[in-house]
Amino acid sequence: MIFRNRALTARVGAAALLASGVFTALGVPAHAAGTETDLSLDVVGTRVAAGSEGKVVFAKVTNRGKNTPTDLSISADLSKVDTDKAVPVPAVPDCDLNAAGWSCKVPSELLPGPGETVELPVVLFKQEGFEGTYKAPITFSIASTDDTDDSNNSKSATIEFTDESGPDLLLLAGDVKQAVKVDENGELSVVGDLHAGETGVLQYFVVNQGDRAAGGLTVTVELPKGVTFTEAEPDCEYNAANTEAVCTYRQLPLVPVDEDTDENDDVFSAGDFYHLLSVGADVKAGSLTGGSVTVEPIVATQPLRGLARKATKLPENVTGIRGADVDASDNTDGYAVVVAARGGSGGGDGDGGLPVTGPQAGLIGGIGGAVLLAGGAMFLAARRRRVVLVTPGDETSTV
């Protein structure tokens, strides 16, 4: 299921306010007993389509231990990046930036619990006036006083401005943490923590950061062991165990974000999707890992114009075929289903129904589209001027 979500090109002022609400500055507390864990880092989405001015890259921090850390910071080494051509800027407010790189403290509300992943956004854009291709290595690192294994705390990637055109889909999937119920009107309500035998909701967000439209989408959803789909969607095919779905949305073209300029039309650059999931009654409390969502573009055989750009049935003379994504590294995202022990806050009546056609982004329990909007605000503000990374005490105007 899908609901409309104006991504990146939405109102810059509102997105900036959203960013200030999503992120809060925090200090680094001392190590606390019972918070030892193992954090690992991955980086996705560093290739940019030829006609795109930039995109949002994500550093993914996964908690592979059994406890929640008390602090987390992330840094980037830009010493090999020509910042006259490319600038990777963190979309987190509590950062120290300089010409050699930056370091940021992660807000406490985003610290991942056992089995969970937090996606931290970095806005990568081309400097004003730059044209052509470019490659450069960049190294990201994480640190926490609670991390017991630093062998997986660093990740190198290559940022690349390509000469390749096409759709570039990003997918973010949220961890499933809350139980929901569906009333007689088909509306969802959150009822508390997710327990064995209850229903949760998996949400994922897809946005086209490329320079050409996708004629449609194919999405593959795999569930963790102990979880099944609650209901069948008309656009999806399921395996015999009801633990994997392949959904084909031929009537949902996604245009590049910079072409999605009218909030009142049926031309979309992004969407939020969700599926109801049932947790087995005999599942033990804890984080069920191994779930994933993957998206592939259905590329039209000719450029989409007019009605073909709208979310409706494609014209008979336009046939969708699967095609390559400019950057497939950010087409898959893992998620955990977090099952609480009995005696928690689940099982209540809940209040504030959520319509099935549009569950709130806050259900995700992560950053999802909210941070994309925040990152997009930064991107739109920065792309119109030259950006120079300096130490805070040496800041000067670059206008």
Given this model, what pLDDT does residue 9 score? 31
Across the chain, what does the average pLDDT equal?
A: 77
**Does pLDDT of 188 surpass 60?**
yes
**Does pLDDT of 324 surpass 60?**
yes
Within 10 A of 158 (CB to CB), how many other CB atoms are there? 11
**Does pLDDT of 227 surpass 70?**
yes
Max mean pLDDT among 47-61, 140-154, 323-337, 348-362 falls in: 140-154
CA distance 202 to 200: 7
**Does pLDDT of 177 surpass 70?**
yes
pLDDT one-digit tens code per residue, 109-135: 889 999 999 888 888 989 888 899 999
Alpha helix stretches (DSSP H) within 300-399: 368-382
* Rounded average pLDDT over 222-226: 97
DSSP 20: H
The answer to whether the CB of 167 falls within 8 A of the CB of 299 is yes
The answer to whether the CB of 314 falls within 8 A of the CB of 215 is yes
Given this model, what pLDDT does residue 319 score? 39
Tokens of 35: 């918070």
* Rounded average pLDDT over 60-83: 94
- For 332, the 3-state DSSP assignment is strand
Domain ranges, ordered by start, for the chain: 2-394
Task: Give the model's confidence band at 151: pLDDT under 50 very low, under 70 low, under 90 confident, else very high.
Answer: very high
Given this model, what pLDDT does residue 387 score? 52
Max mean pLDDT among 31-35, 92-96, 168-172, 307-311 falls in: 168-172
Given this model, what pLDDT does residue 301 score? 56
Going from the C-alpha of 351 to that of each of 179, 182, 188, 203, the distances in angstroms are 12, 12, 10, 20
CA distance 251 to 321: 13
CA distance 98 to 395: 10
Please tell me whether the overall predicted TM-score, pTM, comes out greater than 0.85 for this model.
Answer: no
Given this model, what pLDDT does residue 92 score? 75
Given this model, what pLDDT does residue 15 score? 31
Least confident of 139-153, 196-210, 322-336: 322-336
Given this model, what pLDDT does residue 137 score? 97
What φ, ψ does residue 15 adopt, rounded to 5°?
A: -65, -40
